[in-house]
Structure 1
């Protein structure tokens, strides 16, 4: 049986870890946010709710990077993009050649950082359509009914091996609903495009996903962003997993059916005064397009609107 360690015990890291624990797997947690580590140690675990109900304490083993010396088979990485480089540097002392790493982080830019520590044959990129909220240190809320949400996974080498299939089997047991693909860039970009619509627009207007999709012209807004992103990917030679229409239908389904009450992670960052990952989402799409002489101008406009919102927080009472 594979052993797992979560690197980044925030909302999503905790959800993956707790669901794996409930499925019978050994899981450790490593986090660089001292307030989170201290709260969990003091409580003897982390408080978990589902859609705001049935709040209960789940015992977990949590460490700072400096204090951890475990030897898992697989790391599951869920940090913010701008925090990853420092986190990996602090954690490097316990990395070993045989270990695999699975990442379900938002945005792009993390794979290059992981490759500084892990061989490409050990890297599995993932995308998670799973809503989770960190209410405060030591307290998370799983959004959606049990078994809600799904994820796509792909080996960086695009050649699944025995360990990869075992990880997929374990994630299936944990109700993470994984789908294994052999299209690495296309798998990762599908989620970047999803987030470039939902995360950014919901954050700017401080709304839930269900509230966005209820807007009569939501499809027009969404497809403008999707079309620009697909134009970029076509120029970059990235074959996406779905058509433009299917990408919109995924956004529509997740917003209407799976997670209508969910505030996306970018909104959670904005509402708590943290920097957002917009440069790694809409900004990444725009910057990639520029390499191929294409202006994804709507994505750049939204990136700057988010930064304007971040900037103007200082003027609020």
Structure 2
């Protein structure tokens, strides 16, 4: 199968490696010059559970030629629209486009560029990190849940599920994946924004009684807005899930902290707490915590001069 990975950051590289080793024709697409140059020169170096070098083609999205059978989106949320514009030439009538971005509302953007019958939405708990350009850390195991957003395309979605499982990616075809997407967004909306603002690890945030109060308020706002939109969510279940993740990930700084504090890059806040705040305004629901977290993250971006 001809597969493009649109966004060859840590997760894109991980999926690219595993899908390639399963016998698929995989091409990485990215705009980071140093990363592209390093992989072209020395291959993609994998460290972690095992060490190896994998030689995968990599290029800018606008340089790709030939329609793909499957395109997996791993770009940053704020880069989605530009990526969809750039990959238009490789999206054919039968190309499945699978979104694994963090956050909410991506299917609405995708429908502006991709027929609904070609769109797959999903969520993953696989992890990876880039140590430097051309070097990806791959440790541990994960899983994927996915669904075709058009019910008539279930067979196509299950075919993609089988392809992912052939690469050891532990995929499950989910008849209602949207609650899982909201649940992960809630994890990110508590841990990412909180740790980025407070410059702390997940464990430090959750060890604070005051921090826990903020976390619970954010969870309540996510659930209230999700339920108002018709998403099946249970506040107690999501709270327990967030707490479990906080224990497992206690020593870590989440990705938004790395983006904002460490690397001074724009964050995905508008697709997490910001998305909930905007949905709440349309629904007439008050979400003061999500609104404030969004404003504070943008203030920190301004202070750092991030554009």
Name the TM-score, length of structure 1 as normaliser: 0.87
Distance 2:268 2:276 in 1: 13
- Is structure 2 residue 221 aligned with structure 1 residue 228? yes
Matched residue pairs, number? 305
Q: 1:307 aligns with which of 294, 298, 301?
A: 298
Contact 1:5 1:72 in 2 (8 A): yes
Deviation (angstroms), 1:230: 0.9
Deviation (angstroms), 1:219: 4.4
User: Judging changes above 3 Å, is the alpha-carbon distance between structure 1 residues 231 and 5 closer, same or farther for their aligned structure 2 residues?
Assistant: same
Structure 2 residue aligned with 1:263: 253
User: Secondary structure at 1:140's aligned position in 2?
Assistant: strand
- For structure 2, the 5+ residue unaligned runs are none
Deviation (angstroms), 1:184: 4.8
User: Secondary structure at 2:231's aligned position in 1?
Assistant: coil
- For each residue in 1:242-261, what CA deviation from the matched residue of structure 2 results, as whole angstroms up to 9, or x when unmatched? x212212222223323x444
Structure 2 residue aligned with 1:19: 18
Structure 2 residue aligned with 1:296: 287
Q: Higher mean Cα deviation, 192-201 or 280-289?
A: 192-201
Q: 1:181 aligns with which of 153, 174, 193?
A: 174
Contact 1:76 1:103 in 2 (8 A): yes
Structure 1 residue aligned with 2:46: 48
- For each residue in 1:68-115, what CA deviation from the matched residue of structure 2 results, as whole angstroms up to 9, or x when unmatched? 113321100011122122222222112101110111101124222322
Contact 1:81 1:109 in 2 (8 A): no
* Superposition pairs of residues 212-227 of structure 1, within 5 angstroms: 212-215=205-208, 219-227=212-220
Distance 2:128 2:36 in 1: 18
- For each residue in 1:115-169, what CA deviation from the matched residue of structure 2 results, as whole angstroms up to 9, or x when unmatched? 2232111111111223222233212223x42x2x223212212455222112212
Q: 2:86 aligns with which of 67, 90, 96?
A: 90
Structure 1 residue aligned with 2:136: 140
Distance 2:280 2:215 in 1: 18
Distance 2:166 2:239 in 1: 29
Name the TM-score, length of structure 2 as normaliser: 0.90
User: Judging changes above 3 Å, is the alpha-carbon distance between structure 1 residues 214 and 119 closer, same or farther for their aligned structure 2 residues?
Assistant: same
* Superposition pairs of residues 84-163 of structure 1, within 5 angstroms: 84-142=80-138, 144-145=139-140, 147=141, 149-163=142-156
Structure 2 residue aligned with 1:246: 237
Distance 1:205 1:176 in 2: 34
Deviation (angstroms), 1:14: 1.0
**What is the Cα-based RMSD across aligned positions, in Å?**
2.3
- Is structure 2 residue 277 aligned with structure 1 residue 279? no
Contact 1:127 1:152 in 2 (8 A): yes
Contact 1:123 1:156 in 2 (8 A): yes
Deviation (angstroms), 1:16: 1.3
- Is structure 2 residue 45 aligned with structure 1 residue 57? no
- For structure 1, the 5+ residue unaligned runs are none
Q: Higher mean Cα deviation, 213-222 or 88-97?
A: 213-222
